[in-house]
Structure 1
Amino acid sequence: MRRLVVAAALALPMLGQAAIAQETVKLGYIDPLSGGGASVGEGGLKTFQYLAEELNAKGGILGKKVEIVPLDNKTNPQESLIQAQKAIDAGVRYVTQGNGSAVGGALSDFVTKYNERNPGKEVLYYNYAAVDPILTNDKCSFWHFRWDANSDIKMEALTNYMKDQPAIKKVYLINQDYSFGQSVRTTARAMLAKKRSDIQIVGDELHPLLKITDFAPYVAKIKASGADTVVTGNWGQDIALLLKASADAGLKVNWYTYYAGGSGGPTAIKQTGLNHQVFQITEGFANVDHKESQDFEKAFRAKVDLSLWYPRAVNEMRMFAAAAEKAKSLEPIKVAQALEDMKFEVFNGGEGIMRKDDHQFFQPIYISSFGERSEKEPFDDEKTGWGWKLVAKVDTAQTMLPTTCKMDRP
C-alpha cells in the first residue's frame, strides 16, 4: 500500500506537467541567434514572439497558448539538426526556419525521415524564408510548407520589370556561394538572356556566406566592369556590408535585390545616396496602401522597435491557427491536410493560396524602391527618413510557376 501511495504521489507532479504541456502549442524557432546571421535571426525571433502574443490575446490556437521556443542554429545545417532534435525531445511538433536554404533543405529532409520512423509523433516544418526552388520541386515534402515566394518566382517578376528598362545595358551578378545564391545567378542569367538578349553580363561573382567583413575588393571589380546594374540575392550582413562598401567607393549603379530591406540595409542605402535606385522584391512592405497592415506596422514598431521584415511570418502564424481550427486538431498531419489548397486573405491585402501539389504559398508580390518619401509613404526605415515606395505589383495568378514536385503522402 505504501508503495502505491508513493507511486501515486510521484505521478501527480508528472501528470500536472503533462497537463501544462498540453495547454501549450510550442513552435520551435530554428535560426541564427549568434554569428553573422544573428541580426536577422534576432529580428525574426522578435517577430514570431509578437505574433504569438497576438494569437494568445485572441485565445491562442484551439484555446491553447502559443509559445515560441528559440533555438540557435548559427546558420549551420548540422547544428540545425541538433537543435531540431532538441526541440522534438522537448515536445515541440512544429518548427519554423527561414535564413538559409542549405539549412532549409537539411531540415526538410530530417523532418521527413523522422516522421517516417515515428508514426503518430509527426513534426511539421514551416519555412518562412528559405527560397531555393528545389524545396518545392524535386525535394518537396508533405511535411514542409513554404510561405515565401521561391527565388525563381521572384526573379521572374524582377526580370519582367528589368526588361522594360532601356537604361539597363550591363549587369553584374554577385551572390552568396550556396544553393540559394547559385540559384539566383543561374536563373538571372537564363531569364535576362531570354527577355533582353542585348544585356551583357559583365561579372558573375560568388562569395562565402556571411564570412566577408569588407566588400571593397568586390565593389572595385563591379566598378571596373562598367556595370550599370547589380543583381544580388544577398541577405543579412552580406547585403548591408556590400551596400556600405559601395557607398564608400562612390559606386553609382542601380541595384535589384531580394533582401535590401533587412537589418542594416536601409541605413547602408541612405549612405550610398542612391535615391530610389535600390529595388527589392517582397511579398509586402510597410508603405503598401492597406489600412489593416499599416495599423499593424504602427503597433509592431511601437512594441518591437523594428520594421516588419516578414509579412509572410504573419501569414504563416495566422494560417497555422486557421488550419488547426479547420481541422479541429493540433495533430500535425491533420493541420497539414487543412493547409493544403487553403485560400487566405494575406497580410498586405489580396488572396493567397497554399498549393496542394508542392506546398508553395502564392500571394501578390511587390517591387519597391528605397528613397525620399511622399505623403503616400508614411513609414521610413531605420530612422533614415527614407522609405520604400511601390514600383510594381504582381498579382497572385501571375506568380504561379509550374512545379516538378511528386509528393509522397502519408
Structure 2
Amino acid sequence: MRSLISTTLLASLSVLGATQAVAQNTYKVAYIDMLSGPFANVGEIMLTHVQYAVEDINAKGGVLGGTKMQLLQFDSKLSAQESQSALQAAIDQGVQAVITGGSGSSVVAALVQSVNRWNSRNPGKEIVIMNHSSIDPELTGKSCNFWHFQTEANTAMKMKAIANYIKKTPEVKKVFLLNQDYAHGKQWASYGRQLVGLARPDIQFVGETLHPMGRVKDFAPYIANIRQSGADSVITGNWGQDLALMLKAAGDAGYDLRYFNHSAGGAPGTVTAVSQAKMGRVTWVAEWHPGQAGVPKAEALAKAYKARTGKDFLAPRIDMTPRILAAAINKAGSLESLKVARAMENLEFDSVVGKVRMRAEDHQLLIPQVVNTIAKVDGKTVTVGWEGTDYGFQTDAAYSGNEVAQGTECKMQRP
C-alpha cells in the first residue's frame, strides 16, 4: 500500500512539475481590440501585425533564451465595458501583458484603470499594458500610469509635425475642423487650432463640426457646410470608414480639399477613395509610410511581412510593440511585470525606423514622424501604388522623436 501511495505521489509531483515547466516556458500576452463592428478591418490589420512580430520573436528563441510568447485574442467591441470583460477573461487565463490601442483612448484609459486596480490588489501577478495606437496625451500626461506604455506618438506630437509642415505651406489659408464626436476627435481639433494657429497666425479657422462616430453613411451634408464656409483645408481626426466616406462625399461633390490627418495610410480604403475621387490632397503623419526612401530595414520588414501573411505592411510601431516588450523582458532578465516595467523605462530600441526611446518620466515612446501625402505614382516622388491603385505616398517632411516631443504633466507614481 505504501509503495502504491509513493508511486501515486511521485506521479502527481511529476505532472505538477511538468505543468509548472510549461507555464514557465510561456509568456501570455492578450490582444484586446476591435475584431467586430464597423472598424473590425482596422482591428484585424493591427492583430496581424502583432501576430507576425510575436511569431518572429518565438522563431528566434523567444525571450530569456527559450520562453515563448503566447498571443491570446479578445474582442473589445469598441467598448470600454466589453474591454474590461475581456481583460478579466485574459486575467483568468494568466496573461502578463496586454497589447491594445485601436479601440480608442477611452477604451485604453478604462483598461489602464482596471489593470492598475488589479495590480494593486495582486502583488506578484501584475500586468503590463502596451498601447500602440490610442494617442490621447492624457494617457502619458495627467493620467499617466506606471503600468502603461505608449508606443505611438501622441496627438500633440503628431499635430506638431503637421503644424511644422503647414508653416511652410502658404496655400493653406482657411481651415475647417471636422471630427468624430469622441475624445480623440475633440483633441485633434483642439490641438489643430492651438498648434497650427501658433505656427501660422494668419490662418483662418472658418468652422468646426463633430459628428457621430461610425454612424454617418453619407457625409454630403457635412461637405456642403465646409464648402459654404469657404475652407480650402480640413483638419480631421477621422479614421476607418468615417474617413473613406468623407473623402468619397467630397469627390462626388467635386470639392478639391486638402486634408490633414493622423493615420490615413493605415485606414483601409482611404487610398482607394482618393484614387476614385481623383481630387483632394490627404496629408497624414506616421512613423513610416510604404515606399518611403532611405529606410531599408522597414522596407525589408514590409516585404517579409507580405511574403508570410499575403497582406500589406502598414505600421512599424505595432510590429515593434511586442518587440519592445521582449527587449524589456530580456533587459530585466525576468518575466516579473514589475521588473519588466522598470526595464522598459528609458529603454532604447533599434527599430526599423531608427533608434527610439521609451521616455521614463511619462512612458511615451519618442519615435520619428513623417508627414506625407497620398498622391499619384510618378516614378520619382511616389514609387509604390497602394490598394491596387496607381496612388501611393509622397514624403513631405520628416522629424525625429525629439523634434516633435512635447512636455508632460505626468507625475508618475511608482510602486
- TM (norm. structure 1) is 0.95
In structure 1, what is the Cα distance between the partners aligned to 2:404 and 2:322?
Answer: 22
Equivalent in the alignment of 2:385: 380
Find out whether 1:60 has 2:62 as its counterpart. Answer: yes
| Paired residues for 1:117-132 under 5 Å | 117-132=121-136
Residue 24 of structure 1 aligns with an amino acid whose one-letter code is T
Corresponding letter in the other structure for 1:144 = H
Residue deviations 1:78-116, cap 9 Å, x none?
Answer: 110110111111010100111101111111111111111
Shift of 1:303: 2.4
Where does residue 365 of structure 1 map in the other structure? Answer: 369
| Matched residue SS, 2:114 | helix
Mean alpha-carbon deviation: is it higher for 220-229 or for 304-313?
A: 304-313
Q: CA deviation at 1:22?
A: 2.4
Aligned residue runs from structure 1 range 44-55, under 5 A? 44-55=46-57
Give the match's secondary structure for 1:201.
strand
Q: Provide, for residues 22-46 of structure 1, a one-character-per-residue CA deviation record: whole Å limited to 9, x for no partner.
A: 2222211110000012010011111
- For residue 378 of structure 1, report the CA deviation from its aligned partner: 4.3
Q: Does 1:184 align with 2:197?
A: no
Structure 2 residue identity aligned to 1:68: L
The 3 A distance-change label for structure 1 pair 255 and 362 is same
Which whole-Å CA distance do the structure 1 matches of 2:250 and 2:15 have between them? Answer: 60
The letter of the residue matching 1:239 is: L
Q: 8 Å contact 1:239–1:259 — kept in the other structure?
A: no
For the residue of structure 1 that corresponds to 2:146, the secondary structure is coil
- What does 1:1-400 correspond to in 2, within 5 Å? 13=15, 15-62=17-64, 63-99=66-102, 100-261=104-265, 262-274=267-279, 277-288=281-292, 289-349=294-354, 351-373=355-377, 374-375=379-380, 377-400=382-405
Q: Residues 129-158 of structure 1, C-alpha deviation per residue, up to 9 Å, x if partnerless?
A: 000000000000000000100001111111
Q: 2:63 and 2:390 mapped to 1: Cα distance? A: 38
Q: For 1:291-346, what per-residue CA distance to the aligned partner results, in whole angstroms no more than 9, with x for missing partners?
A: 12111111212222332222112222222221111111111111111111112222
Worse-superposed segment, 173-182 or 303-312: 303-312
Cα deviation, residue 369, structure 1:
0.9
Bigger mean CA deviation after superposition, 328-337 or 192-201: 192-201
Q: Tell me the amino acid that sits aligned with residue 367 of structure 1.
A: V
Summarize the Cα distance change of 1:264–1:4 in structure 2 as closer, same or farther, 3 Å threshold. farther
* Structure 2 Cα separation of the partners of residues 247 and 70 of structure 1: 38
Offset at residue 287 of structure 1 (A): 1.9
By how many angstroms is 1:209 displaced? 1.9
Q: What is the CA-CA distance between 1:7 and the residue it aligns to?
A: 6.5
Q: For residue 264 of structure 2, give the secondary structure of its aligned residue in structure 1.
A: coil
Name the SS of the counterpart of 1:380 in structure 2: coil
Mark the CA change 1:306 to 1:375 in structure 2 (over 3 Å): closer, same or farther. farther
> Structure 2: how far apart are the matches of 1:11 and 1:251?
73
Paired residue type of 2:191: T
- Deviations 1:263-311 (CA, angstroms, capped at 9, x unpaired): 1111112112137x21111111122222121111112122223322221
Q: What is the CA-CA distance between 1:211 and the residue it aligns to?
A: 2.1
Whether the 8 Å contact between 2:238 and 2:261 is mirrored in structure 1 is yes
- SS of the residue corresponding to residue 392 of structure 1 reads strand
CA distance 1:14–1:241, shift in 2 (3 Å): farther
TM-score scaled by structure 2? 0.94
Matched residues in 2 for 1:195 and 1:17: separation?
Answer: 60
- Residue pair 2:63, 2:326 contacting (<8 A) in 1 also: yes
Counterparts of 2:236 and 2:135, CA distance in 1: 14
With over 3 angstroms needed to count, the CA separation of the structure-2 counterparts of 1:325 and 1:227, relative to structure 1, is same
Which structure 1 segments of 5+ residues have no match? none
Cα pair 2:295 2:352 within 8 Å, conserved: no
In the alignment, the residues of structure 1 paired with residue 278 and residue 145 of structure 2 have an alpha-carbon distance, to the nearest angstrom, of: 44
CA distance in 1, matches of 2:5, 2:212: 62
Contact 2:147/2:341 (CA < 8 Å) preserved in 1? Answer: yes
| SS in structure 1 of the partner of residue 42 of structure 2 | helix
Q: Distance in 2 between matches of 1:94 and 1:105?
A: 16
Gaps in structure 2 of 5+ consecutive residues: none
Alpha-carbon distance in structure 2 between the residues aligned to 1:57 and 1:375: 37
Aligned counterparts of 1:309 and 1:116: Cα–Cα separation in 2:
36
- Note if contact 1:170-1:200 (Cα within 8 Å) is conserved in structure 2: yes
Change (3 A) 1:37 1:325: same
Which AA in structure 1 matches 2:79?
N
Question: In the alignment, residue 326 of structure 2 is paired with which amino acid?
Answer: A
Question: Aligned partners of 1:305 and 1:203: how far apart in 2?
Answer: 42
Kindly indicate whether the alpha-carbon contact (under 8 Å) linking 1:33 and 1:72 is maintained by their aligned counterparts in 2.
yes
Q: Distance in 2 between matches of 1:379 and 1:266?
A: 12
Contact 2:381 2:395 (8 Å CA) reproduced: no
Give, as a single letter, the amino acid of the residue that structure 1 aligns with 2:223. V
- Please report how far the alpha carbon of residue 404 of structure 1 lies from its aligned counterpart in structure 2 after TM superposition: 0.5
Structure 1 counterpart of 2:216, which letter? I
Conserved? CA contact 1:287–1:376, under 8 Å: no
Paired residues of 2:140 and 2:408 also in contact (CA < 8 A):
yes
